[in-house]
Structure 1
Amino acid sequence: MISTWMLVIVMLVGSSNGASSGNDTQPCARINTSSLVVPLGSRVTATCVIREDCPLGQDVHIEWRLVDELILSSPAANGSNRVSTIVVPSFNRTSAELTCRIKPSSQVLAGVVIQAGYPPEIPQNLSCQTNLTDSTLNCRWDPGQRVTHLPTKYTLYTEIRDLNTNNTYELPPDIHHHSIPRTDFGLFTDMMIYVKAENDLGEASSAHIVLEPVCAAKFDQPSIVQIDVDPKKLGCLKLTWTLSPHQEWLSNYPVNLEVRYKTAGSDQWSDPPIPVINVKSSKVVVKPCHLLHGTQYLAQIRVRCKQSPWSEWSSSKSRVTLETAPTGRLDSWVKVSRNHTSKNSNIQLFWKPSKQFRGNGQNLTYVVSQQKLDGERGRICSTSEKCCAFQLSWRTRKVYLRAVNRAGKSPPTEIRIYKTKDYTPNMDVTAVPLDDRSFLVQWTAVVTSSLTGYVVEWKPLLKTGLCHTHFEIVNKSQSSLLITGSFEPYKPYGISVYPRFRDGIGPPQTVNAYLRQKAPSAVPKLEIKKTWGSYIEIFWDELPLEQRNGFIKGYKVFYREENGPIKVVSADAENRRVILKDLNSASLIESFMMVSTFGGSLNGSTIHFEIKPVDSVTVVILVTAGGVGLAFLIIFIVLTCLSKTTTLKRRFYPVVPDPANSSIKKWSSESTQFIHPSWDNNEPNPIYLSHLSFLDLTTKLSKEEDDIWSNSLEETSDLGDSISGSLFTPTYSGSNSEVVPYATVLCSSSSNGPTPDEHPVYLRSESTQPLLETEESFSPKCYQNVATNGMPRHDCFFGPSDEDVPGGKKDPALIWDDFPFLHALAMNEMEND
């Protein structure tokens, strides 16, 4: 049924021309329309009629307006200018005012408000839920997706057939829910419920539902009383449960139950849960089975009655199933490096359960052994972790890994020890984060016939424990892997890809990756390294890894002089130094650093410094001090050289004897002290005597002549000739040869030192001059050396000394006969005296 709402606006043209009946004023015009509420977008027809007795005159012209929009009218069928009709082909406004007016003054004669919308949709998703606490039945529904733009009222109908009772609940417009009181329904009696929607354009009713109010209730959270193991069945548990204390009066009423479980430490519950239908909490024990042996499980339950909403999940209870020995094999990964200090190899062994492995028990331990048979002998390590580091002989080729629990041990997993190969392929490894839990690792495939697969390894760089390493083994046809785990944002991870060959493992290629990045947690401290002129070199230390929060993209140093513009100098992540240029001296400079990652930037604190000016006085002082110091150094070197002239000459030039000043009688410390000066005054000067030579001696030796040794030296060219021509030279006849080698005297004693312990040494001369002839064979005897310090020295060079001859001293004549050299020396000394 469509109600007509009409708003008529009557405008009197003039109070004098209006018709009145008592105190009532009648309108001059009215608007007739088919309906004031129409479907949105439908056709609308309207007619404006002016009363004949309305004093507007004969020449009247009517115009139409929809709100402020002018609408053309069609002429009236009877040709009267007091009647006008319009047609709106599509009324697309939800509400608008239509008026007729007089031209040209646009004075309003009459008007109506037209509304448009849609009829109501069929209510959807009607549901009713019983609240057992306040004993009400709460129903709600969905009015539909389309908006009607018209006021729509809803009416809720209930019918209890067993009691022949009907109830109707009319609701205000646009209300989509209602609570039925406890007096209008029974908990254990079925009832039918539906809802009807109605507006000016139509009505619609929802589907009928039939429910039992007790089964329309959402039960409170149940609880698990106890979990036990089934001693007769491996992998089974027994659950005893109950309803909440407020609903224990329903314990004998059958309900539906669901059980879900998960292993300890897992985040995923079993899906779908295990359903249990029509059970009573006071009698039925739930037995979930097909569980892993020796594994700790957590269980939860929830309940509902027929199609009522599920209750909330109960709190968790845990229990361990019966244990059995571990089964299946373990996946392993071995890293080998050579120990250069011994003939052993460093081994790092990692493992994890394969898809077939079952621990079947709690407190698993893992044993690594060199022997396949079980036993203490050959055991390398035993640990509850999933890694182990040890050393093996480089000859060892395999080890064995077992999992152990209280019920037994798993079969051994054979692990081959492969050597590291030098072959390093270029794999171009990249790691890109996909979401909050995973990285996509990609690499270039290795093209070689000996390739058997790859090992992808990852570990957190801020954790140093060996067992934080994770790995995945992939076949050789793969070139990418999605790795998942409990990755932390803003923390660095090292991801490596190892190629595996038939005879070894290749070196890895490693990249660092962040799941997410942000600005660093700190900024390095700026330090001044060097200052010169108008330049300052600033450096800083590398930011610790735990404070970076991402890859360092670069550094920027902002600085400005007092009241000057801000300048910026940049540095990359590797070069941690910048130079500030063109600075004015004696001005205060402020600076700070900004360090950036690919996730953000952070500014450091501001530092202040200044460049001290260097004035002309300071420059003159520095230059003068440097010049004076250099002059003193040069003078010191020159004086040192002058004071050590003789020493330097003996260092750099050889000592050449002067034949003109030599005399055989001057064999003393005074004659050799200058020739061979001592470098240390505390040590005695050595006397060097070389090549003893005798010059020509004439028959008469005159004191007026020059030194006979010097003259003879100039005139004599050969030592042998001088001696053979001498007056005091006795003849020598050797039975073996006409030439006899001479002797050379070497003396190293000092004139000022004590008498040396060693005797002078005579070396055989290379001369071939004949010696004096004598009937006796040459047998040199002892002779008296030159006096030293006023005391004669007695050394036996060629035979026994005087003290060795029986009867005292030997006849001096024998000395001269046996030693012609000494004879010549004696004669020369006598002449000089």
Structure 2
Amino acid sequence: MYVVGPCNVVLHPGYRCTWRSCVHCEIKQRCEGNPEPCGIDIKPGYPPDIPQNLTCVQNMNSHNVSCIWTTGRGTIIDTTCQLRVHGDLHLGYRSIMNSTGFCHSTFPIKSSVMSQLVVWLNVSNTLGIKTSGPHTINLINIVKPSMPEILNVSCSSRWCSLHIDNHSMNLVEIQYSAVNVIWDTFQNNDKSRLNISSLHPDTMYNFQIRRKINHTVGLWSDWSQPKRKKTKEEAPDKALDVWYLQELKPPESKSKCFRIFWKELNISDAKGKIQRYNISVLEQKGKSNSIIAVPPSRNQSICCYNCSVSVSAVNSEGQSPVKIIQLRLPGLHTGLLSHKPLNNHSIALFWPKFDIAGTEYVVHWYPVGNIEGIQWIRVVDTTAHITGLQPQECYQGAVTALRSSGPKMATIKGISSWQSAPEQGPDPELHWKKTESSGVAWSEIPQKKRRGCLKKYTVYLMDNLKGDIHNFSVDHPKRQYVISGLSPRQCYNLWVTAWTDAGEGPRGSVLPFCTPLDSEKMLSLVILAGGAVLLACLILLCICQFSSVHRRFLCCCQCLLPIIPDPANSKCAKTYADDQSEIKFYLDQWDSSVNEEPDNVEVEEVPYPSICTYIKSFSQESSSSDATQFTRITDIMEDYISTHGAISGGEEEDEYEKGERSLDEFEFFPSTHSPFLEPLVLTGGKLTLDVVKIDCSEFLDCT
């Protein structure tokens, strides 16, 4: 390494230092008048290399030539470049080398008849000088046309035509590409119109051109500014790929239901923007039905019986070929499917050869719970590679063998390229509980939290008193379990976890509950029965408020009462009527003005055989008896009963007639013997049963 200074100094890089941070200097010779080089500014650098890689360009319609060359490496210190032209009186065209080691110089051409140039190159700095040359340059080889311009682009569906500005060049190079695609290049000798064929319909292209004098002379011009144009659409020429699955039919539908799926056409096959899908359903009876589906929809539910479906795509230029598929229920195949992961996004699926002459298999799969994400491929072998799977996602699918007599299907579940333990546990809830058993159910884990395919659940039950933990295994997809063997009036804690092939996930929320006692069950039954009886009574009471119901109810109750025999028809009464004997009652006179209660009256009965007193019945039959007998009996009772006023026979007859009239007022009763009627004999000085209080216990003895 060398330095610039008043004397020559050799520099050596210091230990563990760079040339920019520190150097070690040794003085080769002392400078005259400067015995010690103290206070000298030192600037490190390199001497120049020999100039090389000379390139010169003459722009068309210009008399200047621009040349550029390199010096091998940057010298770090200031370096001067110089170009000298043979025959030019100018001493040289100077410039300063840039930091990357390039020198540039521009000079005029003195004569228009010159065909060659001879130049020398010189590079120098304080550490040295380098020169190269002479270099001979043919002017015709360095002529560079100006940058061309694309005026207009017109396109059809398969080709485009470029209209460019006028020029005298004989060679044009064109490059074009679809957006984000590698450029294609070709050359053309047409000076004004350039045609590009073999393009794709409905595709956006970028176009650029450049030109030169001919194949052997001159330099290429710069590329023109890009021009963008889109080709026109064409009608799709490829039929859709269609598949179907059976669906659960609605309750109101008598036909079988299917869901039709189709794949989107890629850009090259669609040849334009798909505006709609035409779906036609044709039944064997000749009935047809047309359905229109609009993108981005790629499926349609159809309910029909023994029918076929045709599907086609439509853009602005026309319709694709029709794809017809027969909707038939596939038979189930008992062959087992197996799979193994290839990487995090693909698996290999294997199955035994079906015992049918199937020439093609359709393998379909979709994420669990998202049938609209279905994908399928068609293969002729018994192996399929399924790609595009998402890690920690569970898929299910099937393999269907196609044959003329009908398809046959084998299903598979639990497909996953990579999985881990679930991220979340299910939340349990108690459906019912008894003294010794309980029913529990739990919620579904969200698909994103499953981290794979669920295999089973584990129900944990902890006895709060003993601290024992019991667990019960439940296969997926079941989400309920009946726990038996519980103790009455005992409290428990319950939680549930989920499993994948990678392991057990965390538990969900904890559910505390207690079992009831048997007495509590009986109490609940008693309360329930009492409430039912009370409700029935209230309803009956409300019904009885209606007069018509009240009358009918009393009639029914009266029919249930036993018939009271008429005392007038008894044997004792008939015997007494024939007997002329009488019973005498002796009663002392009592002063009604005295407030004291009178002494008890002693009644002496003359012992006559078979004598029995009675009160005449108020029935209609007894009322028809002779008046003599009624008068005689009332005369006897007149001697026996003492009241505040005398009771005459006439007054008694009046009361009897009033009683008869009062009975006539209750016309809705069939008989006057109803227990719901008011007493027929009134008190308050009148003859009543409560006042008389005659013991008729001897009636039975007399009969």
Using the size of structure 2 for normalisation, the TM-score is 0.45
Larger RCO of the pair (alpha carbons < 8 Å, separation 6+):
2
